[in-house]
Structure 1
């Protein structure tokens, strides 16, 4: 087999494995990384390097592996954009953690979120008490977003990326 085709196949397999592993272990792993998480990421990247390139440690072999990862990632995002089924298969849905001051303990337990982590997110949003939380969500990217019922508390707003059409660019 062509050594570069071998790298392509190995890289695709490693990429798909990582997508599945992150899906199984949850989106919480992607949010605020601690020291152990950073070490894990470094060790995983080191362990899968040889699985992708095999004995080929050439510059071209590394570039081929990296290019394949970029292409597979691009294609997966395009497929997820077009297919609701694939998107739901790969990506979790947002989860309600607190609604109108009431904590969803089952959801917190399912996601492995401690009360300390939830309180930290509340403090980051300027909220001290659970009763002041109108809605707290674990978002699909692993971050916790919080909306308070108090209009005087500054909320953190995230701008949604929009795709510009030719009409939007001209106008």
Structure 2
């Protein structure tokens, strides 16, 4: 029983430390996953597993190694931010896969990317004809960015000399999971009385609302707990 309790406590400690390290390294590390981030994530994961389950190694040694490696990863991130030459070595650099409509076979061989993989990446961007591509670049995070040839670019309002539409803004969430978000009320000068009146116009009571948001187009949207759908899809 003592062994189970010790394992549980070590697991909780490992999780909390990993959360702190992830916070320190920041969102960009999680979303981009460059070479350095990939190595750091795998190694920190191994340290976390050992802290939780490997009782043959002292907790002090594991924590020391874990914190030192986390510190190294953080320092490398700072160095990469401040030095472009070192950033190329630490994080790598984008690689061109298609240039001026021509496939760069040497770069693809170097990166071990097949034409099947390239076509899949293009299809995920709704490009089914490779002849439409002017440039394709493999970014540091492993994603492919694409620039279409001018004749295949979508038409914009500016191209058609059409005046810009109504100004859009970031959506303002007012109720989520049935609870009002007070900070958003205060920051945007919105009162709860106004929201109650708007819900009443739609035949809703505020306590029956699951989600309420002012959309980017300025429209107020309500979603109530009662869906009023006679035959919901995929209900078990």
The offset of 1:106, in angstroms, is: 1.0
Contact 2:133–2:148 at 8 Å: present in 1 too? yes
Higher strand proportion:
2
Equivalent residue, structure 2, for 1:152 = 154
Max Rg structure: 2
- Summarize the alignment of residues 105-124 of structure 1 with structure 2, pairs less than 5 Å apart: 105-124=105-124
**1:45 correspondence with 2:51:** no
The offset of 1:71, in angstroms, is: 1.4
C-alpha distance in 1, partners of 2:87/2:142? 16
**1:63 correspondence with 2:51:** no
Equivalent residue, structure 2, for 1:138 = 138
C-alpha distance in 2, partners of 1:148/1:125? 11
- Summarize the alignment of residues 5-84 of structure 1 with structure 2, pairs less than 5 Å apart: 45=46, 56-58=57-59, 60-84=60-84
For 1:71, what is the secondary structure of its paired residue? helix
The offset of 1:49, in angstroms, is: 5.4
Give the number of aligned pairs.
111
C-alpha distance in 1, partners of 2:89/2:153? 37
Contact 1:100–1:131 at 8 Å: present in 2 too? no
Q: Name structure 1 gaps, 5 residues minimum.
A: 1-25, 31-40, 154-171
Equivalent residue, structure 1, for 2:171 = none
Higher helix proportion:
1
Q: Name structure 2 gaps, 5 residues minimum.
A: 1-33, 156-236
Equivalent residue, structure 2, for 1:93 = 93
Contact 1:127–1:148 at 8 Å: present in 2 too? no
TM-score (norm 2): 0.40
Runs of 4+ in 1 over 6 A off after TM superposition: none
For 1:122, what is the secondary structure of its paired residue? helix
TM-score (norm 1): 0.53
The offset of 1:82, in angstroms, is: 1.8
Contact 2:93–2:140 at 8 Å: present in 1 too? yes
Please give the root-mean-square deviation of Cα atoms over the aligned residues, in Å. Answer: 3.3
C-alpha distance in 1, partners of 2:118/2:137? 10
C-alpha distance in 2, partners of 1:49/1:109? 37
For 1:136, what is the secondary structure of its paired residue? strand
Q: Deviations over 1:99-140 (max 9, x none)?
A: 232111111111100011100100011101111112110112
Q: Deviations over 1:117-168 (max 9, x none)?
A: 1001000111011111121101122222222232239xxxxxxxxxxxxxxx
